[in-house]
Structure 1
Amino acid sequence: MIPLTALLLAGNRPGVDPLAAAFGVPFKALVPVGGEAMLARVARTLVEHPRIGRVILLSQAMDAFAAHPDTAWIAAHPDIVMEAAGGSVSGAIAEALARHPAGFPFLVTTADHPLLDAAMLDAFIAPALAAGTDVAVGLVARRTLLAAYPDNRRTWLRFRGGAYSGANLFLLATPRALTAVNLWRTIEQQRKKGRTVIGAFGPMILAGVALRLFTLRGALVRAGRRLGMTAAAIELPIAEACIDVDKPADHALASEILARRARDIATIRA
């Protein structure tokens, strides 16, 4: 099995991040969840997974991470490389792909996903590789999330047959994936607006989705064809996979989930 290269995005977007400010830390990735900085949790999950060969941490905050007690170990870990990134997430990814042309396939995830665990990675990686496409995107169906957390609010992409939210998991399997990354650069600042994201693939696809003419798979096939690449959606059966931490309500929910996991582990070991 070819080991994956994980790109771990841990940068700050321009301006003051309100969540980081609320917790008195300079970078969102250092916000503590369950008693530990989010970045430390995600980095540990990635570096301990058997399918991941190395982790490339992309951030503007190398010195801050190296000095923080929760994340200092990252700078010394032999399987983690820390590389500087600018203010654009998509730009950082594109630059990393250019620096590491032999690194494909790449797994991409973010530091604000402290609930990420081995089960989620297992549920995504195997089917994403098996899809045989240039890009694969992890998604959670609305029905899956609301069955477990009916009060949770997400940004939904709506298609015929269901609505989906992103799981902050992407597989960039071939160099053709750079086409999708470059498109993302044009819409990154409006990533929370579903119609804007879909509209970037052209008016016909936007109209088809708006009228519920396309399933998720059908929309991705058409979008990939327009970009000269192939794409697949990997639906994850794990509600927590789409719960990242952007706001205080997310932080409270993630803390509650991590506390429950800790209790479950303690019960099993007792």
Structure 2
Amino acid sequence: MDGKITALIMAGKRSGIMDPLATRAGVSQKCVAPVLGVPMIERVLKEVAGCDQIGAIHIVAHEADEIKALPTARALSAEGRLHFKEGKFNIVDSVFSGAEGASFPLMITTADNCLVTSDGYAEFIDKALSAEAGAAAALARKEDVQAADPEGQKKFYEFSDGGYSNCNTYWIGSDEALKAAEIMREGGQFVKFPKRIAKAFGWMNLVRFYFGWGTKEMIFEQVSKRFGFKLVPIVMSRGEFAIDVDNERTFEVTERLLKKRAAAAG
């Protein structure tokens, strides 16, 4: 896939924990639970595959068989474009597993990102390339997220230039940037463990972030210095890209927004 971006779709499951949305849908993992009648990962896979900048697609999963049986997965596998990689115990090892045999840059997204479109992925890739990012994270403005749906997100990262929400879409520009993910290995639920954040990013960066001292660009620049490569915040044009299917509330929000989108499309 010369000149194309490799996409990693993270479709793992928590060890020993059955997701409530999967239980309700009668499936073994959340990523194949239907949203508005279509399995989550089927939606995501279609949008990722429909982005012209993306070539090879790697799905990182603990249980691949349910996913392989889906129509889009079958078609892309037959084309030789889709490859399955083994999900590991933690997110960092799962990313390393997904990156095996891949060419850089990598774009990482999640199997529950049901509202991100092919155009959204293209926007993120174009902005990452334009910024010459070593690594990047997609963000949406608080006001855009709330305008999309007031119930879409409850928590935001606050910087001096405003509030932002994570869109669960990331960029890794090189093998060097991928190796830097090692520092995140102990992270787990990062926001709940400030000492782990401090170990990764430094105490001053943690203080700046906690008190909202500095713009997002300033914070990312400071973290870039610690990592040794350019880490870039990429602001997306649509607030709904920050809403993924985490629970019953966001499930209902996602279905509501998908219905609205379908009605607008005629």
Show CA shifts across 1:104-150 (max 9, x none).
00011010011121221122111111111210110011121112322
Over the aligned positions, Cα root-mean-square deviation in angstroms equals 2.1
Cross-structure match for 1:12? 13
- Whether 1:257 aligns to 2:257 is yes
User: What secondary structure sits across from 2:139 in the alignment?
Assistant: strand
Q: CA deviation at 1:6?
A: 0.3
CA spacing shift, 1:73–1:61, aligned 2, 3 Å: farther
Q: CA deviation at 1:75?
A: 4.2
8 Å CA contact retained: 1:135, 1:173:
yes
CA distance in 2, matches of 1:73, 1:79: 9
8 Å CA contact retained: 2:146, 2:153:
no
8 Å CA contact retained: 1:113, 1:245:
yes
CA spacing shift, 1:106–1:218, aligned 2, 3 Å: same
CA distance in 2, matches of 1:172, 1:192: 22
CA distance in 2, matches of 1:13, 1:122: 30
User: What secondary structure sits across from 2:126 in the alignment?
Assistant: helix
Q: CA deviation at 1:254?
A: 0.8
CA spacing shift, 1:128–1:69, aligned 2, 3 Å: closer
CA spacing shift, 1:81–1:176, aligned 2, 3 Å: same
My pick for the range that moved more, 197-206 or 56-65, is 197-206
8 Å CA contact retained: 2:217, 2:233:
yes
- Whether 1:190 aligns to 2:192 is no
My pick for the range that moved more, 133-142 or 197-206, is 197-206
User: What secondary structure sits across from 1:226 in the alignment?
Assistant: helix
Identity of aligned residues (%): 27
The AA in structure 2 aligned to 1:16 is M
Given the two structures, how large is their TM-score scaled by the length of structure 1?
Answer: 0.89
1:141-156 residue pairs with structure 2 within 5 A? 141-156=141-156
The AA in structure 2 aligned to 1:66 is K
Cross-structure match for 1:76? 78
CA distance in 2, matches of 1:149, 1:256: 9
Q: CA deviation at 1:203?
A: 0.7
My pick for the range that moved more, 59-68 or 245-254, is 59-68
Given the two structures, how large is their TM-score scaled by the length of structure 2?
Answer: 0.91
Give the paired residue count: 263
Cross-structure match for 2:27? 25
CA distance in 1, matches of 2:163, 2:257: 24
Show CA shifts across 1:58-79 (max 9, x none).
1111122234567554543421
Unaligned runs of 5+ in 2: none
User: What secondary structure sits across from 2:89 in the alignment?
Assistant: coil
User: What secondary structure sits across from 1:108 in the alignment?
Assistant: strand
CA distance in 2, matches of 1:46, 1:13: 24
8 Å CA contact retained: 1:5, 1:56:
yes
Q: CA deviation at 1:93?
A: 0.8
The AA in structure 2 aligned to 1:3 is K
1:48-197 residue pairs with structure 2 within 5 A? 48-67=50-69, 72-97=74-99, 99-100=100-101, 103-187=103-187, 189-193=188-192
The AA in structure 2 aligned to 1:205 is N
CA distance in 1, matches of 2:79, 2:12: 19
8 Å CA contact retained: 1:160, 1:209:
no
CA spacing shift, 1:196–1:244, aligned 2, 3 Å: farther
